[in-house]
Chain A
Amino acid sequence: MNTPANIALNETVDQAVNKSVDQAVDDELWSAVGDPIRRRMLDLLLSGDGGTATTLSAQLPVTRQAVAKHLGVLGRVGLVRDAPAGRERRYEVDEARLARAVAQLSSVGAGWDARLQRIKRIAEAIQRSRED
């Protein structure tokens, strides 16, 4: 039935499903930044105004090939963008994406805050009903 209430309910379910999809993306994002070398790379890219696999490997205790692989991981989740630079590719941090990542990571805590408020409301309602 297409009552307004049903439509509203369907929208809520859609939002819940979209949220699940976002969470799957978050997982990749989180594992992308879960590696210390990749964090150092983000750091170096931010402080050095971008870089190439060669310039990064010169500053890190890993090979150029390993750096290229890590850059691929960061690129797949959109944290870095690349453009041709001579015979190499130059990478820089996508700051909008970094900002979004930060917002998503903060929302994990906010999600639990809302759940805990609901736990409180339910428990207090049960308590009151038992005292009546």
Chain B
Amino acid sequence: MEYGSIAREIRIDAAPEVVYEVVSRPEHLREWWPDEAELEPVPGATGVITFGTRTSPDAKVAPLTVVEAEPPKRFSFRWVYDEGERATAANSLLVTFELVPSGTGTLLRFTEEGFREKGWEAAVLEEAYRDHVTGWDHFLPRLVAYAARLASTP
């Protein structure tokens, strides 16, 4: 994808049905990501994930909206938007887990995209910095071309 996305693939020795539960059910989410998760894994449902102790004033609560829930194939949600707003492509990140049967296990494809250009920035800045260490001469013409291409992308 041209702009903002992280993509990963991981092979898991567990059936897609099991992996689906782990990525979508709050009791499992708590084990691999936030400290608390309140979420109904059905399309359109909104929930919250909490980092830190919920009763603590420092706890960080993030809203989350389920986009797709197709067991055992696909689970996606939007997050990183302001509480009280409706999650859209313009104000949030879309996380997608795609589960592909692979032998007796599962190939889990993960993407996070719609970075308000963040992911794109990550790549560009990283490259910018690396090249900056060795000199900007090689890099500048490319950055300019890349920026122009991005600017002309609707």
Contact = CB atoms under 8 A, between A and B. Distances in A.
Q: Do A and B bind each other?
A: yes
Interface of A: 13, 16-17, 19-20, 30-31, 33-34, 36, 39-40, 43, 46-47, 95, 98-99, 101-102, 105-106, 108-109, 112-113, 115-120, 122-124, 126-127, 130
A102 to B, nearest CB: 4
Contact of B32 (A39, A46, A47, A118): A118
A126 B144 CA distance: 50
Given A33-B121, A36-B150, 11 more contacts: A17-B59, A19-B51, A30-B115, A30-B118, A34-B121, A40-B144, A43-B143, A98-B125, A105-B126, A108-B6, A124-B12
Given A98-B125, A122-B31, A112 B110 contact: yes
A85 to B, nearest CB: 22
B147 interface: yes
B69 interface: no
Interface in B135-153: 136, 140, 143-144, 147, 150-151
Interface in B1-32: 6, 8, 10, 12-15, 18-19, 21-23, 28, 31-32
B58 interface: yes
A105 B118 contact: yes
Contacts of A109: 6, 8, 122
B60 interface: yes
A108 B53 contact: no
A122 B29 CA distance: 10
19 contacts: A13-B56, A16-B51, A20-B51, A30-B118, A33-B125, A39-B147, A102-B125, A105-B121, A108-B119, A109-B8, A116-B10, A118-B31, A119-B19, A119-B23, A122-B32, A123-B14, A123-B22, A124-B13, A127-B18
B116 interface: yes
Nearest to B9: A116
Interface residues of B, number: 48
A127 B15 contact: yes
A123 B106 CA distance: 10
B117 interface: yes
B86 interface: no
Interface in B76-120: 106, 108, 110, 112, 115-119
Contact of B129 (A34, A98, A116): A98
B66 to A, nearest CB: 17
A120 B143 contact: no
B73 to A, nearest CB: 15
